[in-house]
Chains A and B, each alone.
Chain A
C-alpha cells in the first residue's frame, strides 16, 4: 500500500477514533484517579480496584450477571439452534413465514416493549420476579440472535454430508450428532458468545424483569451512577472492558491463525 496521508484523511481518522474511543479512554484513565472526584485528576492510584473487591453489592451483582448470562446463553443456544434447523430444513410446513417472522421479531422489537410485556406476563402468571424471571427474559431476547447466526451457517451446509453419513449406515439421529452438529459447531459457539454478551450488558429488560436479590451488574452500575459516578464504578467498567477486549482479541487471533493455517494447508495440498 502506498497511500499518502492527506490532511483530510488524517483529520477524519483522528476524529473518528476520538469519537469512538475518547469516552472509554477517559473512563479508564479516571479509574486510576487518586481523587474521589471523578473529573479532577489527583494522581495515580489503584485503590478503587481494591475497594471494588470489598464492595459486596457490586460483587454480588457480578455473580448474578455471570450466572444469568451462562444459563440464558446456553438455553437460548439450544432453542435457537433448534429453531434454525426447523426453519432451514422443513421449508414447506404451513405457517413457516409466520413462524420465522415470529422468531426474528425480537431482533427489532424495542427492548422496552419486550421488557414490559414480559413483566406483565410474569405478574399475570404469578411468577415472583427474581433470578428465574431475568434468566427467562434473557433467553427470550437472545434466542433469536442465536437462530440468525446458526441459520446463516445452515444455509450453506452441504446436505450431501448428511446423505453420505446415512448412506454409510448412520441413522438420522446419529447423523445429526456425528456429522451435522460438529460441522455447525463454530456457528453455535459464536451464537452462544453473542447471547452471553447480550445478556451480560442488558439493562432495560433486566430492570423490568428482575426482582430483589437478583440485581445484575448493569443495573447495579446504573443505580449507583444515579447517586453520582464514583471511581469505583470506573474501575468496575475498566475490568469489564478488559475482559471483553481480551476475549475479542483471543477469539480473533485464534480465528486468524486457523484461517492462515487452512490457507497454507490448501496451498500445500494443491502443490503436492
Chain B
C-alpha cells in the first residue's frame, strides 16, 4: 500500500463520513475591538483525537482554545461539544479542562491539594478524592512529591503536576496551551511521548495549541494550520508535510524549495513547469492545474539529491555551485546556487561515516529529483 509519509495507525474518523464530530467550531468569529482574532472559522475534531492547532503567535489559536474553555465567548458562530451548544456556559460548568502555558499551579497549595482542587469542587467524597489523587500522582510519577509546594519543584515536575491536575477530573476534552513551551529541548522530547501515551491510555480527546511544528508533528493525529484567524489546512502530519495545500503551509511547516512558474504542458496530473531561465521541471503531481496556470513547485530538501556529476537518466537535474554547507551530524545541508541565482537547499542523511569524493564550497554540483518528489501548489 502506498501512503504519504510512513505512519500507519488505524484511527482516521475524519475519513469516515458517518463519524460523529465531537467538537465543532461552526463559522466562529471572535473580535477584540477592531481586531479580528478568529475569522469565520469552521473546524471539526473527533472523539479521542489528538488535535493540534499550529500557528505563529498572534494567529488566533489560543483564542480558539480559550473559547472552548469558556474564557471568551465567540462574537459570532457556534461551538458545539458532543452536540451541545456551549454558548453561555461558564468555564466552571464545562466538561473540558485546560493545562495552562504558565501551569498556573496554586502556589499556596501542596501538589496533592492542587490535584484535588477540581475534584473537591465537584463534591466528590473524601476517600474517592484521595484515591484519585494517588492515582494521578502515580500516573505522572510524583508520588514522593505529594506534600511539596509548587516552588519546591523543578520545571518538569511542575509541568507534570499541571498535567495531573487537568486530567484528574477526567474531562471530555483536555486543552493544552503550549504544554511543553517552558521545558528544555531534551525534556520536551521525552514529554511529547509521555503525553501521547497518556492520551492513548486515558482515551481522552486532546486539543493542543503550539507554535512548534515539530511538537505538533510528533504528537498530533491531525494538525490545523492557523494563520490570521483562519484555517489554512487541516490534515495529518504526513499530509501537511508531503501534500501542503498552499504556499503558506508548505513554507510554514518544515523547509522547502519553491520554484514559481507556469504549467507549460500538462495532462493527467503530469506536467512540465516552466520555471524561467531555462529551467523546466517535470512533475507527476500537478493535480488538475491547467496549462498556462501560474503555480509554485515545492520540494523538500531531503528529496533533492546532490552530486558532483550529472546523474544518468535523471528527469530533473539542474546545475549550480555549492555556496554553503552545514554539517549537522545526522545530516548535511547544502545550499546550491543555481546559475540563475536561485538558491536550492538539499539535505543528505549521513548514513555512512566516511564519504568518498565529498563536495566542498564553490564546487560545481548537480541537484536532481524524481518527478514524484515535489508538489504543485496553485494557492
* Interface residues in chain A, defined as those with a beta carbon under 8 Å from any beta carbon in chain B: 158, 160-161, 163-171, 174, 179, 182-183, 262, 265-266, 268-270, 272
Q: Are A160 and B104 in contact (CB under 8 A)?
A: yes
B71 CB to nearest chain A CB (Å): 6
Which residues 104-142 of B have a CB within 8 angstroms of A?
A: 104, 106-108, 117-118, 121-122
Nearest B residue to A163 via CB reads B71
**What are 30 A-B interface contacts by the 8 Å CB criterion?**
A158-B104, A160-B104, A161-B106, A163-B91, A163-B98, A163-B104, A164-B98, A164-B100, A164-B104, A165-B106, A165-B117, A166-B90, A166-B91, A166-B92, A167-B96, A167-B98, A167-B166, A168-B117, A168-B165, A169-B92, A169-B93, A169-B169, A183-B107, A262-B151, A265-B149, A266-B151, A269-B148, A269-B153, A270-B154, A272-B154
A182 CB to nearest chain B CB (Å): 5
Nearest B residue to A164 via CB reads B104
Nearest A residue to B93 via CB reads A169
Which residues of chain A are within 8 angstroms of B153 by Cβ–Cβ distance? 269
Nearest A residue to B152 via CB reads A265
Q: Are A182 and B118 in contact (CB under 8 A)?
A: no
Q: Are B157 and A167 in contact (CB under 8 A)?
A: no
A175 CB to nearest chain B CB (Å): 8
Q: Are B97 and A183 in contact (CB under 8 A)?
A: no
Q: Could you tell me the distance between the alpha carbons of A105 and B93 in the complex, rounded to whole angstroms?
A: 42
Give which listed residue, B70, B107, B151, contacts A269 with CB less than 8 A: B151
Band of interface residues on B:
20 to 34
Interface string of B58-70 (1 = CB under 8 A from A): 0000000000011
Give which listed residue, A170, A262, A269, contacts B92 with CB less than 8 A: A170
Q: Are A167 and B102 in contact (CB under 8 A)?
A: no
A70 CB to nearest chain B CB (Å): 26
Interface string of B241-284 (1 = CB under 8 A from A): 00000000000000000000000000000000000000000000
Q: Could you tell me the distance between the alpha carbons of A266 and B152 in the complex, rounded to whole angstroms?
A: 5
Which residues of chain A are within 8 angstroms of B157 by Cβ–Cβ distance? 269
Which residues of chain B are within 8 angstroms of A165 by Cβ–Cβ distance? 106, 117
Which residues of chain A are within 8 angstroms of B91 by Cβ–Cβ distance? 163, 166-167
Which residues of chain A are within 8 angstroms of B100 by Cβ–Cβ distance? 160, 163-164
Task: For the A-B complex with A164-B100, A169-B118 known, give 9 more contacts whose Cβ atoms are closer than 8 Å.
Answer: A161-B107, A163-B69, A163-B91, A163-B98, A164-B98, A166-B90, A167-B91, A168-B166, A171-B92
Q: Could you tell me the distance between the alpha carbons of A161 and B104 in the complex, rounded to whole angstroms?
A: 5
Q: Are B106 and A167 in contact (CB under 8 A)?
A: no
Q: Are B69 and A167 in contact (CB under 8 A)?
A: yes
